[in-house]
Structure 1
Amino acid sequence: MPKIIIEDLKIYAYHGVLPEETKTGTYYLINLEMNVDIWNATESDDLNDTVNYAEINEIIHTEMKIPSKLLEKVCGRIIHKIHEKFPQIESLKIKLTKTSPPMMGEMKGVSVEFEKKF
């Protein structure tokens, strides 16, 4: 099955349980992998035969602007909106990483990852 992949989309947003997280914000990385039958596009060269990843990018940016306490909630909204717009997507995997979580220790970030089959 062909895939469309968005890698390390970096967005500044305001998610978190702690009040300072929703005031100061931080960078997030989004990785998205979609399984979708786009074989026709290899012959047609027509955007209608594939999934417009610019529109996927717009959906992600729109949902990331809505502050949430949990990354899980953000991922759920993104998955729902993408599937609503592109029902031809057969499965979707998303990984959302908070790059600077307010915790002790040095780390690259904390992530949640979901995979949904439709």
Structure 2
Amino acid sequence: MDAIHITDLRVWAHVGVLDHERLHGQWFSLDLTLRLDLTKAAKEDDLDSTADYSLAVQELQSLVATLKCQTIEHFSEQVLDLLEHLYGPVAMRVLLRKCAAPIPGFGGTVAVERHRHWTV
């Protein structure tokens, strides 16, 4: 199956367990994958035969402008719902990373990976 990938989409969102994370916000990075047949779009140069990824980016910008929640798991669920609303029940994957988790002495990222309609 073919796929469209959006990688390292950086968004500012008000998500976190700590009050200041939800109040002030922080950076997150998203990787999105949509698995679908791109044959017709590739052969005929037809935008209507593919998933217009610019719609996902625009809708994600709107989502993060209003979203306030505690967990990145809930944030990822909102992203999956948005993608399914835009593109229907296609196989999709979201990798959502919190870029700077407020954990003393920790310098890495924390991430969740979620799937919907995904078969191995």
TM over 0.5: yes
Contact 2:7/2:32 (CA < 8 Å) preserved in 1? yes
Find out whether 1:110 has 2:113 as its counterpart. no
Find out whether 1:7 has 2:7 as its counterpart. yes
Q: Distance in 2 between matches of 1:88 and 1:78?
A: 14
Q: Which residue of 2 aligns with 1:24?
A: 24
Identity across aligned pairs (percent)?
23
- The count of aligned residue pairs is 117
Q: Deviations over 1:54-95 (max 9, x none)?
A: 001112222222111111111111111211221162x11101
Scaled by the length of structure 2, what TM-score is found? 0.90
Which 5+ residue runs of structure 2 have no aligned equivalent?
none
Find out whether 1:83 has 2:84 as its counterpart. yes
- Residues 19-58 of structure 1 aligned to structure 2 (within 5 Å): 19-58=19-58
Contact 1:97/1:110 (CA < 8 Å) preserved in 2? yes
Q: Which residue of 2 aligns with 1:97?
A: 97
Code of the residue aligned with 2:105 in structure 1: it is G
Q: What secondary structure is seen at the aligned counterpart in 2 of 1:14?
A: strand
Q: Which residue of 2 aligns with 1:68?
A: 69
RMSD: 1.4
